[in-house]
Amino acid sequence: MVASEATPFAKTGGLADVLGALPAALQERGERVAVVIPAYRENRYPQPTREAYRDLFIPIGTGYRVDILETTDHDVTYYFVRCPALYDRDGIYGAAGIDFPDNHLRFAVLSLAALGVARHLFPADLLHLHDWQAALAPVYLREYFRGDPTFRRVKSLLTIHNLGYQGIFGPKVASELGLDPRWITPEQPGFPGDVNFLKAGIAWSDAISTVSKGYAREIQTPEYGFGLDRFLRKHGPIMGIVNGVDYTQWSPEHDPHIARNYSATDLSGKRACKRAILAEYGLPHDNLDRPLAAIVSRFASQKGFDILADAAPRLLQEDLDLVVLGSGDPVYEKMFHALARAYPDQVGVQVGYDDPLSHRIEAGGDIFLMPSQYEPCGLNQIYSLKYGTVPVVRATGGLDDTIDKDTGFKFRDYSGDALLESVRLALKAFQNKEQWARRMKRCMEKDFSWNASAGEYVELYRRLAPG
């Protein structure tokens, strides 16, 4: 597998969670999996690493020499591409909200280094590539290594975790990346002459998947296709395999980050968690019967904060508190800070990235809000189920697939009104304590462990690379 992030080493969002858990689930089913990611400055290495290969030459741009580090986590081999000129800096994709100007090189080098790993260290029969950062691998595989016996039978699968990020760069980068521009700009109105990593990956891979069945359907429509719907229909079928979650990390029974552990059979600890998170956010915590809504999210337009902003003044007339953790687009950081200032006793906001706090919020909340404009899969709503924190979600992509009326509340229209109506239904349901407790238990009993989805991936791998 090739990707730009993986827990526990480097993470900005759900992609890392997938790369931290799916490989281990595959290993348990008897597959042999290795993962290749960059060696960023901020990588955390809980286990020692060793240098597995030195001075691999990558013949693009001005030419790079990279080293490959290696470690093992849950029986999975993780390889890290060490190239200080490209990765030893603050930030994974950029700094202060601005993408690094050489991201095309940074991630093209990742793909070529991964092919180097497959040749020298981990002979593979399948390359499973995740998102645009890994999407040039199949192009290089076919165009650079066409006659190479190592790669003759190697197949490639591209998984799209988010079509909103395609890796689009001006036409000039083609020669820097060693690409013939004609290879990477198959006809598609709207993208004249650009180098589009994801689109190239879609065209060159042997198969394409995405992270829920709903999103697989949606991205083939103009509304959700980000300009690639027609192209995707042409290069389909697009398989939808829903993400699982790692319950060793996300479960209130043994989560080390939360105030008190609890379970579906004994919910008492959840009240302690609620009191603790309200106190941590400096909100009144004497009345635990008042519902607490929660948000943990990247701050991006995808996540539906425009309609939340629209609904907020009416929402906060309700008997309800709100705690928020997130970071990203400064527009939304400002929006949430303004809400906290306007409703100091009701709204608490933390801007930043804080994994233990995200666990404490999941445990302390009554309701989890995800009004996403689009959501390929979404993991936080699935974590929320396990913590008995009832999701209120927009019915799109993976949110629609993973939440039903027995567990959460869904609305369809992308509007503040629809969101508000859905939250009001949740608040009404919250008033009936017994019924709410039964709903929480139904949520907590849902099983989205990786096992089933890993099985679907294995089937797909076998179809592609039967050997």
Would you state the structure tokens that stand for residue 231, as one six-digit string? 């192209």
SS (H, E, C) 239-266: EECCCCECCCCCCCCCCCCCCCCCCCCC
Q: Any residues with CB less than 8 A from the CB of 347 and at least 6 apart, and which? A: 316, 321, 322, 323, 324, 336, 339, 340
Output 383 or 411, the one with its CB closest to ligand ADP.
383
Output 13 or 97, the one with its CB closest to ligand ADP.
13
Per DSSP, the chain holds a count of helices (H) and strands (E) of 18, 18
Output 257 or 424, the one with its CB closest to ligand ADP.
257
User: Which residues of 417-462 form beta strands (DSSP E)?
Assistant: none
Output 301 or 415, the one with its CB closest to ligand GLC.
301
SS3 at position 81 = strand
Output 228 or 283, the one with its CB closest to ligand GLC.
228
Question: How far, rounded to the nearest angstrom, does the alpha carbon of residue 412 sit from its chain's CA centroid?
Answer: 22
Question: How far, rounded to the nearest angstrom, does the alpha carbon of residue 252 sit from its chain's CA centroid?
Answer: 21
SS3 at position 333 = helix
CB 264 to ligand GLC: min, Å: 24
- Helix H or strand E encompassing 70: strand 64-73
Question: How far, rounded to the nearest angstrom, does the alpha carbon of residue 27 sit from its chain's CA centroid?
Answer: 21
Output 49 or 407, the one with its CB closest to ligand GLC.
407
CB 371 to ligand ADP: min, Å: 13
Query: Could you tell me if 456 and 142 are in contact, meaning their C-beta atoms sit under 8 angstroms apart?
Result: no
Q: Which does 311 bind (CB under 5 to 8 A by kind): ligand GLC, ligand ADP, none?
A: none
Based on the number of CB atoms within 10 Å of its own CB, is 182 exposed (0-12), middle (13-18) or buried (19 or more)?
exposed
Q: Does 354 bind ligand ADP (CB under 6 A)?
A: yes
CB 212 to ligand ADP: min, Å: 11
CB 366 to ligand ADP: min, Å: 18
Order of strands, edge to edge, in the sheet holding 409-411?
347-351, 321-328, 292-299, 367-370, 390-394, 409-411
Would you state the structure tokens that stand for residue 21, as one six-digit string? 């858990």
341, HSE (Cβ side, Cα atoms, 13 Å): 6
Q: Which does 18 bind (CB under 5 to 8 A by kind): ligand ADP, ligand GLC, none?
A: ligand GLC
Binder among 1, 4, 17, 450 for ligand ADP (CB under 6 A): 17
Query: 415-432: b or e for each residue (b if 16 or more CB lie within 10 Å)?
Result: bbebbbebbbebbeebee
Q: How far is CA 24 from CA 8, 73, 449, in A?
A: 13, 8, 12
Q: Which does 133 bind (CB under 5 to 8 A by kind): ligand GLC, ligand ADP, none?
A: none
Q: Does 148 bind ligand ADP (CB under 6 A)?
A: no
Q: Which does 275 bind (CB under 5 to 8 A by kind): ligand GLC, ligand ADP, none?
A: none
**Number of residues in contact with ligand ADP under rule CB under 6 A:** 18
What's the N-to-C CA distance of the chain in angstroms?
18
Output 93 or 144, the one with its CB closest to ligand GLC.
93
Output 130 or 439, the one with its CB closest to ligand GLC.
130
CB 119 to ligand GLC: min, Å: 28
Would you state the structure tokens that stand for residue 37, as one six-digit string? 């990611």
SS3 at position 172 = coil
Output 160 or 419, the one with its CB closest to ligand GLC.
160
Q: How far is CA 435 from CA 138, 178, 403, 407, in A?
A: 52, 61, 18, 11
Phi, psi of 240 (to 5 degrees): -110, 120
CB 349 to ligand ADP: min, Å: 11
Query: Could you tell me if 215 and 240 are in contact, meaning their C-beta atoms sit under 8 angstroms apart?
Result: yes
Q: Any residues with CB less than 8 A from the CB of 189 and at least 6 apart, and which? A: none
CB 106 to ligand ADP: min, Å: 20
Q: Which does 401 bind (CB under 5 to 8 A by kind): ligand GLC, ligand ADP, none?
A: none
Binder among 6, 36, 157, 325 for ligand ADP (CB under 6 A): 325
Residues 278-307 touching ligand ADP, rule: CB under 6 A, are 296-298
Binder among 75, 180, 355, 417 for ligand ADP (CB under 6 A): 355
Binding site for ligand GLC (CB under 6 A): 13-15, 18, 161-162, 211, 243, 375-379, 398
Output 111 or 384, the one with its CB closest to ligand ADP.
384
Q: Which does 188 bind (CB under 5 to 8 A by kind): ligand ADP, ligand GLC, none?
A: none
The one segment of 37-45, 137-145, 230-238, 325-333 that binds ligand ADP by CB under 6 A: 325-333
Q: Does 163 bind ligand ADP (CB under 6 A)?
A: no
| Per-residue mark of binding to ligand ADP, 361-400 (x: CB under 6 A) | ----------------xxxx--------------------
Binder among 261, 327, 415, 449 for ligand ADP (CB under 6 A): 327
Query: Could you tell me if 313 and 422 are in contact, meaning their C-beta atoms sit under 8 angstroms apart?
Result: no
Output 245 or 273, the one with its CB closest to ligand GLC.
245
Binder among 252, 326, 391, 408 for ligand ADP (CB under 6 A): 326
Would you state the structure tokens that stand for residue 302, as one six-digit string? 């995808």
What is the C-alpha separation between 376 and 387, in angstroms, rounded? 22
Residues that bind ligand ADP (CB under 6 A): 13-15, 17, 296-298, 325-327, 353-355, 358, 377-380
